[in-house]
């Protein structure tokens, strides 16, 4: 079972008594703010729940799985997401 964005917005709206449009606006702005901060190399932390940060990856050698040819993978960035203690405890 999974919960998609539409279902998440509907559940939050039902639990809080807010309109789905208002909740959707907040959820969209939350993710846009996180994306902007991580793109600017800032770390976003919600203590106990989750943290997002940008990390640099070094250049490395890889292999094309179809041909077996060695390829060079350039250095870049990726997003690291860390789970907090409250979220971990909720899963147990």
**Domain spans in the chain, listed from the N-terminal domain onward:** 5-91
Beta-strand pair 50-57/76-83: antiparallel
Reported pTM: 0.80
Superfamily of the domain at 5-91: IHF-like DNA-binding proteins (4.10.520.10)
pLDDT along the chain (92 residues), means of 10: 95 97 98 97 97 97 95 96 96 90
> Which of 59, 43, 63, 60 minimizes the C-alpha distance to 51?
43
pLDDT for 32: 98
Burial of 50 (0-12, 13-18, 19+ CB in 10 A): middle
Q: For position 1, what pLDDT does the model report?
A: 82
Distances (CA, A) of 31 to 5, 13, 38, 75: 12, 17, 11, 26
Query: Would you state the structure tokens that stand for residue 86, as one six-digit string?
Result: 């409250």
pLDDT tens-digit readout, 43-60: 999 999 999 999 999 999
């Amino acid at each position: 079972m999974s919960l998609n964005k539409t279902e998440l917005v509907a559940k939050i709206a039902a639990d809080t008594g807010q309109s789905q449009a208002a909740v959707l606006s907040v959820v969209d702005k939350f993710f846009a703010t996180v994306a902007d901060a991580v793109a600017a190399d800032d770390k976003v932390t919600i203590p106990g729940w989750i943290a997002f940060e940008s990390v640099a990856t070094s250049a490395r050698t890889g292999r094309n799985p179809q041909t077996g040819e060695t390829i060079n993978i350039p250095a870049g960035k990726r997003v690291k997401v860390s789970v907090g203690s409250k979220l971990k405890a909720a899963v147990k």
